[in-house]
């Protein structure tokens, strides 16, 4: 039976292999993510499956009602473009293919930026449109994986982050496998391209850091000019009486 929603697809053999590869990929990336709170926006796999290696004190999965109804385990049900979280209170945000299932991915990126603290970290996973997975998704009525609305190129997401003042500290391609179950790739094989694994990468990862630039107050021009004018007055010359 062909899966018709993301939860069922991720329970298939190929879906489990992809989750295993991405869990392994995130293992090292989460080592230097510290703080109190790490948010995962969007459901992808079992609850906290991708966050198992996180060193933050709390991990929270937030997803829309449709994801919860599909069988995903979530902590908070909310619209990802309107998070019930205070501004600048989260240390890190993970977007595992989240932007590809949202009707307005740019709004989700802006909302993730709003809740992140200064120097907070943003990790994004996505599929490459120019790949076998992109071709299969384009030719499928339900999208591939099922429910996917669009695939975003890594360059487009980098442009969004640059406009928001982020520094991309890591970019990596992975998923060297065909989007068909009979290929039977292992998670480790999905992460590395080799002689017997010549397929191009079908997914990408970005890790970016949020920078906050402080504005230095400028003194009013009047005071600068006044100091220069009065400081430059010539001293009176004493004349000898004749």
Question: Does residue 234 belong to any structural domain of this protein?
Answer: no
Question: Does residue 179 belong to any structural domain of this protein?
Answer: yes
21-73 residue pLDDT tens: 999 999 889 988 989 999 999 999 888 889 988 989 999 999 998 887 777 88
Q: Please report, for the domain that includes residue 211, its CATH number.
A: 3.40.50.150
137-158 residue pLDDT tens: 998 888 899 999 999 999 999 9
Domain count across the chain: 1
Q: Is the dihedral of CA 212, 164, 116, 205 positive or negative?
A: negative
Question: Does residue 224 belong to any structural domain of this protein?
Answer: no
Question: Does residue 242 belong to any structural domain of this protein?
Answer: no
Question: Does residue 226 belong to any structural domain of this protein?
Answer: no
Give the domain range for residue 56.
Answer: 6-217
d(CA 78, CA 3): 25
For 46, other C-beta atoms within 10 Å of its C-beta total 15
Ranking 55-64, 73-82, 102-111, 208-217 by mean pLDDT, the lowest is 208-217
- How would residue 223 be classed by pLDDT, with cut points 50, 70 and 90? very low
pTM of the model: 0.84
Q: In this structure, what DSSP letter does residue 34 have?
A: -
Which of 125, 140, 128 lies closest to 177, judged by CA?
128
Question: Does residue 61 belong to any structural domain of this protein?
Answer: yes
Question: Does residue 198 belong to any structural domain of this protein?
Answer: yes
Question: Does residue 10 belong to any structural domain of this protein?
Answer: yes
> Is residue 135 exposed (0-12), middle (13-18) or buried (19+ Cβ within 10 Å)?
middle
Q: In this structure, what DSSP letter does residue 197 have?
A: B
């Amino acid at each position: 039976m062909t899966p018709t929603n993301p939860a069922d697809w991720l329970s298939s053999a190929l879906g489990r292999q992809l989750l295993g590869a991405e869990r392994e990929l995130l293992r090292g990336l989460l080592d230097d993510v510290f703080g109190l709170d790490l948010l995962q926006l969007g459901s992808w796999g079992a609850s906290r499956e991708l966050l198992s290696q996180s060193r933050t004190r709390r991990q929270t999965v937030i997803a829309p009602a449709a994801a919860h109804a599909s069988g995903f385990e979530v902590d908070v049900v909310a619209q990802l473009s309107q998070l019930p979280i205070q501004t600048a209170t989260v240390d890190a945000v993970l977007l595992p293919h989240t932007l590809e299932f949202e009707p307005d991915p740019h709004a989700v990126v802006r909302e993730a930026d709003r809740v992140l603290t200064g120097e907070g970290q943003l990790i994004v996973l996505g599929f490459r449109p120019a790949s076998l997975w992109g071709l299969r998704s384009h030719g499928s009525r339900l999208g591939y994986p099922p429910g996917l609305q669009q695939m975003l190129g890594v360059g487009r997401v980098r442009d969004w982050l640059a406009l928001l003042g982020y520094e991309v500290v890591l970019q990596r391609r992975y998923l060297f496998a065909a989007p068909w179950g009979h290929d039977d790739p292992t998670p480790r094989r999905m992460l590395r391209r080799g002689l017997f694994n010549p397929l191009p990468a079908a997914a990408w990862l970005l890790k970016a850091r949020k920078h906050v630039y402080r504005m230095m107050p400028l003194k009013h021009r009047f005071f600068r000019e006044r100091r220069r004018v009065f400081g430059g007055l010539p001293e009176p010359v004493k004349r000898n009486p004749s």
